[in-house]
Structure 1
Amino acid sequence: MALDYLTEAEQRLLLKTIRSRAGLLARRDAAWVELLIETGLRIGEFAQLTIADARAALKTGWLFVPAEYRKGVQVVARGGKATRRFDHKVGVYQRERAALTELLAVHEAMLDGQQELFDTAPLIYSRNAGPLSVRSYQARLQAWCCAADLPVHASPHTLRHTAAMNILRASTADNPLSLVTLKLGHVSARTASIYTEMRDRERVQAELDKVGEARSQAGRKARMRTTDLRRQRDARH
């Protein structure tokens, strides 16, 4: 099963494109895009974060996502299957901290001193001073991807896949899938196994690219013989 995700180069290009634009909305979008890439949260979870959640994360070093924000999962229980939700937490490191701090600053600037920054207010504000809808997140991200001329048809869930792939690329752990499972809050490691296929496909494509480049270079050199180079030099003189 092929899933869309952003390569490291595409991530850099996307964020560079957003940050190249002036204004509060661009600052806001750059911060939430980076935060989704770093945390791997589902957009439905992320959209419910409040000012209090962000402040607590900066204080404790953990972004806590309560079960009521989260998607239910099927588990085996007495009497059959049941849908349950579980609390989740994500570590706050340098990039997460910077993004959260920026979102708080942007939120306050968008209020323009007209009202207090209440703990219960949504972390991400729209231009209409209300919470940003999931559909708006999708539209904003797709617009930025088009502006960056990225070929991928990205959605906020693409950033979740991107977070998983970043872990697999960077990890030296014996079982990196366990890290993906913990980071994304999967109940079972089997759910995260799809990313192994994605990583392997990426590695195979990288090797094919190397072979293609090597063959192209070898081909050019083979066709340009010494006598050809001599003939070209003599023609220039």
Structure 2
Amino acid sequence: MFLQVEKNASPYTVQSYMDDLEDFNLFLIQENISNLKDVDYRTIRVYLTRLYEKKLGRRSVSRKISSLKSFYRYMEQNDLVADNPFIYISLPKAAKPIPGFLYTEELEKLFEINDLDDPIGQRNQALIETLYATGIRVSECQRMEIKDIDFSISTMFIRGKGNKERYVPFGRFAEVALEMYINNGRRKLREKSPAATNAIFLNARGGPLTARGMRLILNKMVEKAALTVHVHPHKLRHTFATHMLNEGADLRTVQELLGHENLSSTQIYTHVTKDRLRHVYMNSHPRAKSDFFLKRGDESDN
């Protein structure tokens, strides 16, 4: 209840906390420890050993310790324990892998394969343009309704994780694709179902498109475009963030657009593509430019 009301945690997060606490409780039973007040530094070290014996990854272990640290913080604040034994435990964070993203040439192939005379093609075009233009999550895209789009200022109202709300702008390509789909393709799809819905993206039967349906659509588009890379909605989110940062957007702005609560979540996108790396190098390093040697030659002649 505390997590749901005070922390506004999602059901998934609450379930993860419950699983972590249940795992720790089973460990305490095995160690014949019946009181949470009796847990000390030594107990925790033994628990960590048990977790590593199970071959759990560093990230999984860190999540469990984080859950227990929060649990004991709550217990301490409510005078249920004298102190929090987990504050003395620090775990090295696992290195975050560089997120996969698409290059411009790969994106162009996806943008060119849809039949814009067909309602389904118009929907698919609007979907991929929206995901790339805004970087929103597939769950956020699936929840969007007609009233959430303001074409007068090219902005979308997004309901994110934990019911957090934000406004995200979109560009001309997404605007054209969305207007075509909403005014034409969506109307035709809507006629196929007697049930009322305000969802923007509809399936072939006229009902709201599910997140799973969106993923299947992308898979079919990739297959049709003959791309060898795996594309999922989150990869378009990665691509959005990578391209924004590579083109000079500041980290705080991208954080706001993505709906990240912590800046550290956005920093994983600060990797630099090979093309961008070469461009910056060739334009910044004195001895990388051919005219550097020309100037040296001119100076030696004088």
TM over 0.5: yes
Cα distance between partner residues in 1 of 2:114 and 2:188: 18
Which of the numbers 161, 173, 187 marks the counterpart of 1:71? 161
Cα pair distance change 1:40/1:33, threshold 3 Å: same
Cα distance between partner residues in 2 of 1:128 and 1:109: 10
1:177 corresponds to 2:251: yes
Q: CA deviation at 1:178?
A: 2.0
Which of the numbers 245, 255, 265 marks the counterpart of 1:191? 265
1:36 corresponds to 2:131: yes
Cα pair distance change 1:200/1:12, threshold 3 Å: closer
CA RMSD of aligned residues (A): 2.6
Q: TM-score, normalised by structure 2?
A: 0.55
| Kept in 2: contact 1:39–1:96 (CA 8 A) | no
Cα distance between partner residues in 2 of 1:165 and 1:127: 33
Higher-Rg member (1/2): 2
Which of the numbers 178, 182, 188 marks the counterpart of 1:104? 182
| Kept in 1: contact 2:190–2:207 (CA 8 A) | no
| Kept in 2: contact 1:168–1:177 (CA 8 A) | yes
Cα distance between partner residues in 1 of 2:261 and 2:114: 34
Q: CA deviation at 1:112?
A: 4.5
Alignment correspondent of 2:107: 11
Q: CA deviation at 1:114?
A: 8.2
Question: RCO higher in 1 or 2 (8 Å CA, sep ≥ 6)?
Answer: 1
Amino acid at match of 1:97: E
Q: How many aligned positions are there?
A: 183
Q: Secondary structure at the match of 1:195?
A: coil
Q: Secondary structure at the match of 1:88?
A: strand
Q: TM-score, normalised by structure 1?
A: 0.68
Alignment correspondent of 1:221: none
Alignment correspondent of 1:61: 154
Alignment correspondent of 1:92: 170
Which of the numbers 151, 172, 184 marks the counterpart of 2:228? 151
1:140 corresponds to 2:217: yes
| Kept in 1: contact 2:154–2:169 (CA 8 A) | yes
Identity, % of aligned positions: 26
* Per-residue CA distance 1:168-187 (angstroms, 9 max, x = gap): 2322x5xx222211221212
Cα distance between partner residues in 2 of 1:201 and 1:96: 27
Gaps of 5+ in 2: 1-96, 281-302
Alignment correspondent of 1:24: 119
Q: CA deviation at 1:52?
A: 1.9
